[in-house]
Chain A
Amino acid sequence: MKALSLAAFVLLAACHPAAEAPKQITLTSQSITLPVETATLPAEILSVNCAACHSPEMILSQPKLKPEQWQAEVTKMRGAYKASIDEKDDAKIIAALLALPNQK
C-alpha cells in the first residue's frame, strides 16, 4: 500500500517539471440555468416546423441560400434528425425561408 502510493506520487511529480506539488483539482456538483431565447421566426409555418430542436438563430444566421439549398436543409432535418415535417408543407416552408429578411 505504502509502496503503491509512493509510486503514484513519483509519477505525479514527473508530470510537473516545476518543483511545486501537483495541485489537486476539486470537483463540486454544478447546476446552471440557461437564458430564455428572444429571437423569433417571422412566419408561423417556420415557428411550427423549425423551432422544436434549435432556437431561431440557427435559421436566421444562415447566409443567402438558394431554394434548392433550403430544400436540402429541410430534407436533411427530416432524414438525419427525424423531424416530423410534412412533405406537403415543403413548398410553403421554402417560400417562407426565402422571404426571411437576410435572404433577400
Chain B
Amino acid sequence: MIKRVDRRTALAIGAGALASTPLWAQLAKTVGPALTDAFPDKRGMILQRTRAPLLETPIDAFDGALSDSPFTPNDRFFVRWHYDDIPLSVDVAAFRLQVGGAVKRTLSLSLADIQALPHVEIAAVNQCSGNSRGLFGPRVPGAQWGNGAMGNALWTGVRLRDLLDRAGVAPGAAQVRFSGLDNPPGAAPDFAKALNLDRAMAEDTIVAYGMNGVQLPLLNGFPLRLIVPGWFSTYWVKALDTIDVLRAPDTGYWMEKAYRIPAAPRASVVPGSKDFPTVPIGRMIPRAFFTRADAKAVRGVALGGDAGVAKVDWSIDAGKSWHAAQLGPDHGTYSFRRWAATLPAGEHVVAVRTTNAKGETQWPDPVWNPGGYMRNSIETAKVTVA
C-alpha cells in the first residue's frame, strides 16, 4: 500500500542541514538560510516568513527518548501570525480582557482578576490548520509548512466558561467570538474566530496565561491565549483581548471564507475541484511523526486529534502487517505521546500510524483540498538497521 518514500517525505524527516532549510527552499534547490535565532525568545527556527512572522519548528526539536518530556520548549515553539501589526509590547497592569455581546453584564478583566480565578492545567497539541501544506500534491498556495507547524505544551489558565458564567450568557446565544491585539492592514477584516456555544462552554476550553509553567512568549500570544484542545490552532486566538457572545453564527471573513474544508469524507476532493460544499475546519485527527529514523533509533511523537492516542503501529511490509510501537507516558488526551519502534535488522521502508481512542486512524493515500488542510496520511521513512 505504501509504494515509496518520495523525495519530499525523505526530506521532511531528514536531519541536519537539510532539515534546517524550509521545504520550499529545499525543493527549489536554492541555498537555504540556516536555522534562525533572530526572533525574540526563539532559537533554531525555520524561517518561513519574516513579516508577519511564520516560524516553523524543525522536526528534530520534537525528538527524545520515550521517557523524555513530550513538551515543546517555548523557545522552539512555532509561530504563526496573519497580519503584520502584531503586539510587540504588552503592559500587564494596563491590559484588559473585554467580555461583551449577548451577556447580562459586560466585563473588563485585568490579568490579576483572571489569575484570581480557579486555575486548570492541560497538556495539548497546538497544530496549525495548514501544518504539512508543503507536502501536498498537487501543491497548493499558502505558507509552505513542513511538519513543524505544531507544538505541545502544558497550558495553565482559567476555564472560558468561568468567565462566561461571570458575564452571564444571555438566552439565545449561539456562538462566542474571539479576537486579539493584532490589527489588520487598512480595510482588511479583523482576525476573529468563533466557536459554537457548546464548544466554548466545554470544560477543557481555557484562557491560558501560562505555557510550560511560565508566561507565554509575545510571539505565542502573551498575555492570554485561547486554548481549544483537540482543535486546530486557528481557534487558539493569540493576545486574546475581546470575547463577544453572538446570537447568530459569525459571518466574518475568517469564519465564512477562510479556514474552510470540504464537507466530503476526510476533507478530501479531487485535485482542482471547485464549488464543493465546505464547513469551517474544527477538530484535529490522528497523526504520527518520525522525529528520528536511523540505525540507532526509530521513534517519534503521535497525536490523537480530539481523542487520546490509543495505539501507534509500525509496518515494514507496506502495510500488510502492523506491530505495536512502545508508547511513552500518557500526559492526557490532547498531548503528544512519544512512540518508539524496535525493527529487525535490514533495510526498511517503515510506516507508522496512530489510532485514537475513537478508533480513527490514518490512511496511506494523501488527502487533497485547495487550502492544504487536514493532512494525516501515514508517514514513512527509509532506515537501515544493522
Give A16 to B189 CA distance when docked, in angstroms.
Answer: 41
14 contacts between A and B (CB under 8 A): A15-B121, A23-B213, A25-B210, A25-B214, A25-B215, A30-B222, A57-B48, A57-B49, A57-B50, A58-B143, A61-B25, A63-B144, A81-B184, A81-B186
Q: Which residue of B lies closest to A39 (CB)?
A: B50
Q: Which residues from A are CB-within-8-Å of B148?
A: none
Is the beta-carbon distance between A57 and B47 smaller than 8 angstroms?
yes
- For chain A, the count of residues having a C-beta within 8 Å of the partner chain is 42
Question: Which of chain A's residues have a CB closer than 8 A to the CB of B118?
Answer: 8, 11-12, 15
CA distance A38 to B54 in the complex (A): 15
Contacts of B257 in A (CB 8 A): 80
Q: How far is the CA of A23 from the CA of B210 in the complex (A)?
A: 10
Chain B residue contacts of A19, Cβ below 8 A: none
Interface majority SS (helix, strand, loop, mixed), chain B: loop
Residue of A nearest to B25 (CB): A61
Q: Are A35 and B83 neighbours in the complex by a CB distance under 8 Å?
A: no
Residue of A whose beta carbon sits closest to that of B215: A27
Indicate if B156 sits at the interface (CB-CB under 8 A). Answer: yes
For the complex of A and B, 10 pairs with smallest distance between CB atoms: A63-B139, A32-B40, A35-B38, A82-B187, A55-B51, A31-B89, A37-B50, A25-B210, A102-B28, A55-B50
Q: Smallest CB–CB gap between B89 and chain A, Å? A: 4
Residues of B close to A11: CB separation below 8 A: 118
**Contact string against B for A residues 71-85, beta-carbon threshold 8 Å, 1 for contact and 0 otherwise:** 001000000111010
Contact A63 B141 (CB under 8 A): yes
Say whether A35 contacts B39, CB under 8 Å: yes
- Is the beta-carbon distance between B215 and A26 smaller than 8 angstroms? yes
Asked if A82 and B51 sit within 8 Å, CB to CB, the answer is no
Scan residues 35-86 of chain A and give those whose CB is less than 8 A from a CB of chain B.
35, 37-39, 52-55, 57-58, 60-65, 69, 73, 80-82, 84
B202 touches A (CB below 8 Å)? no
Q: How far is the CA of A12 from the CA of B210 in the complex (A)?
A: 15
How far, in whole Å, are A64 and B141 apart by their CA atoms in the complex? Answer: 9
A55-B49, A62-B141 given; A30·B185 CB < 8 A? no
Chain B residue with Cβ nearest A61: B24
When A25-B214, A55-B50 are in contact, do A30 and B84 touch as well, CB less than 8 Å? no
The answer to whether B88 touches A63 (Cβ under 8 A) is: no
Contact string, B154-170, partner A, CB cutoff 8 A, digits 1/0?
Answer: 00100000000000000
Q: Which listed residue (A24, A39, A62, A81) contacts B185, Cβ 8 A?
A: A81
**Is there contact, CB below 8 Å, between A22 and B88?**
no
Residues of A within 8 A of B (CB): 8, 11-12, 15-16, 22-35, 37-39, 52-55, 57-58, 60-65, 69, 73, 80-82, 84, 101-102
Contact A25 B213 (CB under 8 A): yes
Contact, CB under 8 Å: B30 / A30: no
Chain A residues within an 8 Å CB radius of B325: none
Question: B253 to chain A: which residues have CB within 8 Å?
Answer: 80
Question: How does the 8 Å CB contact mask read for B22-57 relative to A, with 1 for contact and 0 for none?
Answer: 101101101000001011110000011111111000
Query: A34, B39: Cβ atoms under 8 Å?
Result: yes
Tell me which residues across on chain A come within 8 A of B144, comparing CB atoms: 61-63
Residues of B within 8 A of A52 (CB): 185
- Give the chain B neighbours of A28 by CB distance below 8 A: 92, 215
- Across the interface, A37 reaches (CB within 8 A) one of B51, B185, B218, B258, namely B51
| Cβ contacts under 8 Å, A60 to chain B | 24
Q: Add 15 more A-B contacts to A32-B40, A61-B49 (CB < 8 A).
A: A27-B215, A27-B223, A29-B92, A32-B41, A34-B39, A52-B185, A53-B83, A53-B185, A54-B52, A57-B49, A61-B144, A65-B141, A80-B189, A80-B257, A82-B188
A35 neighbours in B (Cβ, 8 Å): 36, 38-39, 50
Q: Name B213's closest neighbour in chain A (CB-CB).
A: A23
B282 smallest CB distance to A (angstroms): 21
B68 at the binding interface (Cβ < 8 Å): no
Query: Does B111 lie at the interface of the complex (its beta carbon under 8 Å from any beta carbon of A)?
Result: yes
Q: Is the CB of A15 within 8 A of B119?
A: yes
Question: Is there contact, CB below 8 Å, between B115 and A34?
Answer: no
B88 touches A34 (CB 8 A): yes
Determine the distance from Cα of A104 to Cα of B344 in the docked complex, in whole angstroms: 44
Residues of A within 8 A of B30 (CB): 101-102
> Which chain B positions have C-beta within 8 A of A81?
184-186, 188-189
Which B residue sits closest to A81, measured CB to CB? B188
Contact residues in B for A32 (Cβ distance below 8 Å): 40-41, 88-89, 218-219
B93 at interface (Cβ–Cβ under 8 A)? yes
Which B residues touch A30, using CB under 8 A? 89-90, 215, 218, 222
